[in-house]
Structure 1
Amino acid sequence: MAQDRVEAVERALRILEAFDSSQEHFTLAELAQATGYYKSTLLRLLGSLERHDYVQRGDDSRWRLGGSPSRLARRHAPSQWLATRLQPLLDRMASETGETAALLEVQAGCVECRLVALPDNALRHELRPGQRWTSASTEDPRPALPGGTMGYRALETPAATPLHWLTLSGPASRLTPSRAGRCLDKALATLRPSEEMTT
């Protein structure tokens, strides 16, 4: 409700939302452009956020997320089955293919990255747990990937539970759709059907 809004909190949250980007560090000018706030207003809000470790200021005066968002995110971590069964699978896929392996969850037209394993390659598709985007359709969880490819396979899920997709993504010059599909099919074959999403 509008009367329940606290303006300073709304502004601080808008600043944190600006960090939901592939860009990891921001100058004060970049944050001002992203939020529409004056630099003087930003500095006051960033000071409060910094004291509680929601943001950190580097030696280069650029701002990045602090440790508190990750600490709170762990309170809403994926289920034990996802963490113990799928994360090792994603790690193995990323190691064997040199590409980014991820588990995506789709609810109400919104896709969220739940788990990810990044390869050591400098040229790769960057994904982060908690990253979100709008899905093109219920059958296609991919984000916009200029110059990139994402293969995807649905996991079997019980009724009334969110849809989950196993994905493999990387530069189109290196990862073809057919290669991504073969790798995903091989990964899914290692999961017993009764195991897929029985949390």
Structure 2
Amino acid sequence: MAQDRVEAVERALTVLEAFDSPQEHFTLAELAQVTGYYKSTLLRLLGSLARFDYVQRDEHGRWHLGHAPVRLARRHLPGRHLATRIQPLLARLAAECGETATLFEVEDGVAECRLVTLPEASLRHDLQPGDRWAVTDARDPRPALPGGTMVCEALPGDALEPPMWLALSGPAGRLDRRRARAALVDALASLAAGPGGDARETSP
């Protein structure tokens, strides 16, 4: 309905849609051609989008997407491929160790739980996808857990992507750190071997 529309917002979204293209960088003239907007209108829209980091301007005056769209996309669950590979590993870890098994990501000093499998035990570390905690040391991203502990191992990955970690966490008096670390290392080896690399991934 007409009363539900905000023209300025729709114009800004039209500009963002222009970047849904194999072409990564656009001059102002190219954006004007794609959107049909005057350059003066585009500059105002791009200025607002740039302030919120939806777009950025490079040293050559060309425009490209900023970090905000990627940041928002990461608020969703991991991609289907990642979830398909990781979730069975988490289920296996939780069943074998009786502790909470987690995949979390660290970016800009904040860790965020992406996938998790909880053990059947009533006394456990309750985590849910989307839970976050501050990280002061990128080499040790574990949260403070009064009465509990976490063991984690980093996933190998692209240096351009935020680091991800597999973790087991639970009551300090119950979680066997040596056993937990060995289980995580074994899980990472299974992951590196690829589909079918470890029969336990597909075992009932």
- Same fold judged by TM-score > 0.5? yes
Separation (CA, whole Å) in 1 of partners of 2:175 and 2:132: 23
Amino acid at match of 1:148: G
Separation (CA, whole Å) in 2 of partners of 1:84 and 1:140: 27
Cα deviations by residue, 1:95-150 (Å, 9 ceiling, x for unpaired): 11110000010000100000000000001111110001111311111111111110
SS in 2 for 1:169: strand
The runs of 5 or more residues in structure 1 that have no matched partner are 1-72
Separation (CA, whole Å) in 2 of partners of 1:191 and 1:165: 13
1:88 equivalent in alignment to 2:88: yes
SS in 2 for 1:192: helix
Give the drift of 1:81. Answer: 2.0
Separation (CA, whole Å) in 1 of partners of 2:118 and 2:74: 19
Equivalence for 1:128: 128
SS in 2 for 1:94: helix
Asked if the contact 1:123/1:171 (under 8 Å) is kept, the reply is yes
1:140 equivalent in alignment to 2:140: yes
1:118 equivalent in alignment to 2:118: yes
Separation (CA, whole Å) in 1 of partners of 2:80 and 2:182: 27
Separation (CA, whole Å) in 1 of partners of 2:107 and 2:185: 24
Q: How many residues are aligned here?
A: 123
Equivalence for 1:69: none
Q: Which has the larger radius of gyration?
A: 2
Change in 2 beyond 3 A, CA 1:109/1:193 = farther
Asked if the contact 1:151/1:181 (under 8 Å) is kept, the reply is yes
Separation (CA, whole Å) in 1 of partners of 2:117 and 2:184: 14
SS in 2 for 1:180: helix
SS in 2 for 1:103: strand
Equivalence for 1:186: 186
Separation (CA, whole Å) in 2 of partners of 1:127 and 1:155: 19
Amino acid at match of 2:157: T
SS in 1 for 2:151: strand
Asked if the contact 2:75/2:130 (under 8 Å) is kept, the reply is no
Separation (CA, whole Å) in 2 of partners of 1:88 and 1:111: 22
Separation (CA, whole Å) in 1 of partners of 2:92 and 2:193: 19
SS in 2 for 1:146: coil
Separation (CA, whole Å) in 2 of partners of 1:102 and 1:175: 14
Asked if the contact 1:110/1:132 (under 8 Å) is kept, the reply is yes
* 1:1-199 alignment, distance < 5 Å: 76-192=76-192
Separation (CA, whole Å) in 1 of partners of 2:84 and 2:194: 16
Separation (CA, whole Å) in 2 of partners of 1:99 and 1:155: 19
Q: Percent identity between the aligned chains?
A: 57
Separation (CA, whole Å) in 1 of partners of 2:101 and 2:109: 21
Change in 2 beyond 3 A, CA 1:76/1:175 = same
Calculate the TM-score normalised by the size of structure 1.
0.58
Separation (CA, whole Å) in 2 of partners of 1:155 and 1:161: 11
Equivalence for 2:10: none
